[in-house]
Amino acid sequence: MGTTAGGLGRKLAPGSFHRLHRSYILNMKCIKEILSSDGGYVVVATDRDETHIPVARREVRHFREAVGI
């Protein structure tokens, strides 16, 4: 049986990783920029494609606290 994204998120170091959306766990060192979008946020990752990762509405408060905004 595989590990769920939620299960993986609980195993990773909380100061280094954050679950932004049901499909994305972000390495906090890989944030290029954070854009405001429709009352929420989109994180631009430092990967080759500069992936835009939406922050789930229920995660906005936790994400703001994690990045200090």
pLDDT recorded at residue 46? 94
**Cα–Cα distance for residue pair 28/10, rounded to 1 Å:** 15
Q: Which pTM was predicted? A: 0.72
**Residue 57 — pLDDT band, cuts 50, 70, 90?**
confident
Q: Which one is predicted more confidently, 30 or 5?
A: 30
**CA dihedral of 2, 8, 12, 14, whole degrees rounded to 10:** -170
